[in-house]
Amino acid sequence: MKFKIMILFLMVIVLAACSQAPEPIAQVEPPTATPLPANTATPTPLPSATPLPTNTPEPTATFTPTATPVPETISVENASRLQMVRRYGSGQMIQTAWSPDGSPVYVLTSIHLRAYDPQTGDLAWEVETGSPQKQMVVSADGKTIRTISADGMVLLWEVGSQQPPKTLLAPQERIELSTLSLSGDRAVLINFDKKSTVWDVNTGKELASNDGASVPMGIIGALVSSGDSVFWTNGFGSGQSQQIQAWEIATGKFLRGMKGSSQLYVTQLAVSPDGSVIAGISRLAVTSQPSYELLVWDVETGNLLQKINFSDDIHTFAFVPGQRKAYLAIDNGTIVPVDLETGKPGGGFGRSKTAVISMAVSADGAKLSAAGADGIVRVFDLANNDLIHEIEMDVSLSVAPYETSGENYILRYDLYNGIGTDQDGKSIAVLSHDRMKIDLIDPATLKIKKSTNFTMLPLDTIAMSQDGKVLAAADSANQIILYHASSGGIKN
């Protein structure tokens, strides 16, 4: 019985094993499909593509120092590396002059030497001066122009040519004052030791020297161009007495002084084209009412010929060649003719809104050019005082006359501070040509981004805060005005 039971048990085991045999095969089918190796093959390109090395940040790291350079103070050692990126405007107005035949009219700015057709205002010739020139003299044949800089260097320019100028004189010492004679053939230089030297511009040779005796016991305030035989100095001696003195070019010796000038505080001296008279502007404040006068002396005798009084300040004046006549630019904006024989002024014309920097009359006395601080050169026909043309110069730095009273005289300054900038150089503030508002310039495009509101009085000087948020201006009545740079509106 036990044996049968054992046999039955073994059969049950065998049957169980036979019935379970397909199950391992069914279970093995999923491994045979091997989905995992197929799925593991798909991510394999990801490591092989290795995108991380392609987007390596190394180039960004190397660019960072260039984008944020360390500020470097400008010095003698690194000044040669400075390069002009861009320039706004044409600098400031310096002088206007005429060709001997009456066309073209020349204009000297702190950047350019230009020639314009006076009838149409068209630009006929332009050349960059490279460095600021303080005076120009047109040759008698009109083919060349000589200019002199503040340091005494004399350059010769061929009219109509783009060739670099020829250097006629290059002083080897520091020069305080310099001027050319009316012909341009002589240059007078005064160094910081008050030594006057006269030079032949054509040969570059020194002609004479006065060994530092330019103004006995005094200081030189100005050097005046004249003929090829005499030059003039204007300064102050002991006790602040004014000394206007003539010196001989051939020997450098003192000739004579102008009579009646010691207490008149005369400035802006000029000699007539024929060298017969010398004139200057006197501004006195002896009484409550300021006195403005044009004083005229005879060159040969030193005698005072005329004292012509005006109630308004005189900006500048110009002689008429071949005539005892001059034109004066007055503070009320008009140009007034004056007979130097009688001292009587004529009717005014012109009506300029800003100060006149320089005037010149053509050789035939028919036309007058007036260069204004607003960058406009106005050309007039003197037959009827009619305006012929207005030539826009697009100056970037205008001039404002500013006056303050001394003990018994009036000091007149020319203010040139017409530019301000923020610390980062993102905005440039400039005075408008009419000095009635401030323009904010984008230094990248040189276009006006915004302008402040117009003022009642002309602005003399401006400044911008370091963060570029506030603009400050002083007007001709000494009022300080603050503006919001973002809106242009008045802050205070």
> Three-state DSSP class for 291?
strand
| pLDDT band per the 50, 70, 90 thresholds, residue 159 | very high
Q: For residue 58, which amino acid is it?
A: E
> Three-state DSSP class for 255?
strand
Q: What pLDDT, on a 0 to 100 scale, did the predictor assign at position 286?
A: 65
Q: Is the pLDDT assigned to residue 336 strictly greater than 90?
A: yes
Token pair for 433? 């040509």
Q: Which residue has the higher pLDDT, 15 or 353?
A: 353
d(CA 372, CA 92): 10
Average pLDDT (209-233) is 66
- For the beta sheet containing 459-464, the strands, ordered from the edge strand earlier in sequence to the opposite edge, are 459-464, 470-475, 480-484
Q: Is the pLDDT assigned to residue 477 strictly greater than 90?
A: no
Exposed, middle or buried by CB within 10 Å (0-12, 13-18, 19+), for 465?
middle
Q: What pLDDT, on a 0 to 100 scale, did the predictor assign at position 257?
A: 81
**Residue corresponding to tokens 């009036």:** 410
Average pLDDT (473-478) is 81
Q: Is the pLDDT assigned to residue 188 strictly greater than 50?
A: yes
Q: Is the pLDDT assigned to residue 309 strictly greater than 80?
A: yes
Which residues are 141's β-sheet partners? none
Long-range contacts at 164-169 (CB < 8 A, ≥ 24 apart): 168/201, 168/202, 168/204, 169/199, 169/201, 169/204
Q: Is the pLDDT assigned to residue 453 strictly greater than 90?
A: no
Average pLDDT (447-475) is 85
| CATH classification number, 417-484, choose in 3.30.1340, 3.30.70, 2.40.10, 2.60.120 | 2.40.10
> Three-state DSSP class for 383?
coil
- The answer to whether the CB of 255 falls within 8 A of the CB of 247 is yes
Q: Is the pLDDT assigned to residue 199 strictly greater than 70?
A: yes
265 φψ region: left (φ > 0), alpha (ψ -120 to 50), beta (else): left
Q: What pLDDT, on a 0 to 100 scale, did the predictor assign at position 5?
A: 42
Q: For residue 105, which amino acid is it?
A: V
CA nearest to 277, candidates 308, 323, 332, 346: 323
d(CA 13, CA 319): 141
**Percentage with pLDDT > 90 across the chain:** 32
Q: What pLDDT, on a 0 to 100 scale, did the predictor assign at position 61?
A: 47
Token pair for 54? 């392609």
Query: pLDDT tens, 362-378?
Result: 999 999 999 987 788 99
In the chain, ranges of CATH 2.130.10.10 domains: 89-410
In the chain, ranges of CATH 2.40.10 domains: 417-484
Buried b (16+ CB within 10 A) or exposed e, 434-451: bbbbbbbbeeeeeeeebe
Q: What pLDDT, on a 0 to 100 scale, did the predictor assign at position 220?
A: 59
Q: Is the pLDDT assigned to residue 211 strictly greater than 80?
A: no
Fold of 89-410: Methylamine Dehydrogenase; Chain H (2.130.10)
Is beta strand 266-271 parallel, antiparallel or unpaired with respect to 254-257? unpaired
For the ranges 44-53, 76-85, 171-180, 236-245, the maximum mean pLDDT occurs at 171-180
Query: pLDDT tens, 52-74?
Result: 445 545 554 454 555 566 778 88
Q: Which residue has the higher pLDDT, 415 or 19?
A: 415
Percentages of the chain per state (helix, strand, coil), in multiples of 5? 15, 40, 45
Q: What is the DSSP letter of 142?
A: S
Which residues are 380's β-sheet partners? 368, 387
Q: What pLDDT, on a 0 to 100 scale, did the predictor assign at position 13?
A: 40
Average pLDDT (452-477) is 85
Q: Structure pTM?
A: 0.74
Q: What pLDDT, on a 0 to 100 scale, did the predictor assign at position 71?
A: 72
